[in-house]
Amino acid sequence: MHKTLFFILLLLSGCSKWPSDFDVLKPTESTHINVSVKGELDNPGTFVLPVYSIVSDLLARLELREDSDTGRINGNIVLKDGDLLIIEKKSDLKKVSINTALAAELTTLPGIGPAMAERIIQYRSEFGLFQKIEDLMKVKGIKERIFGKIQDYISL
């Protein structure tokens, strides 16, 4: 009986930490994000940036080419982990970037009014940059009919 009681006390003394004291139960927050860049640049790939970095922070790290078109990229967009930015080549046909365009630029697309432009901006703010142009159909109100009208005028 004394040996059993001693064993129980020994076990209890080893369990003196409360669950909140265990480090494994505390969530870990990442201090960095990974953002991929493709297109017209000399150093495509995945870049590690601090959390809450913006597009202009990323652009500063890129080795752009003479024909890289960054004129329509909104540098103030906050990047999220896993985002993809595609740098397009300058061309005669200017496409609207669904990842970086402001509301005024988005409303130049056929079938996109001010309310829809705001939904696009809200969607990318909430879920991050679009990974392919077809992802635009995830925005409430944009289905195949509207997407068919604008797909030739948009880019990432």
What are the sequence ranges of the domains in the chain? Answer: 32-155
| Percentage helix, strand, coil for the chain under 3-state DSSP, each rounded to 5 | 35, 20, 45
Mean pLDDT for all residues in the chain:
85
- Is the confidence at residue 24, as pLDDT, over 90? no
The radius of gyration computed from the CA coordinates of the chain, to the nearest angstrom, equals 25
Residues 32-155: name the CATH superfamily. Photosystem II 12 kDa extrinsic protein (1.10.150.320)
- Is the confidence at residue 26, as pLDDT, over 70? no
32-69: pLDDT as tens digits:
999 999 999 999 999 999 999 999 999 999 999 998 98
State mean pLDDT over 60-85: 92
- Is the confidence at residue 137, as pLDDT, over 60? yes
> Can you tell me which residue has the tokens 């005669």?
92
Question: Which positions ≥6 away from 82 have C-beta within 8 Å?
Answer: 33, 34, 35, 36, 128
Say what the pTM is. 0.55
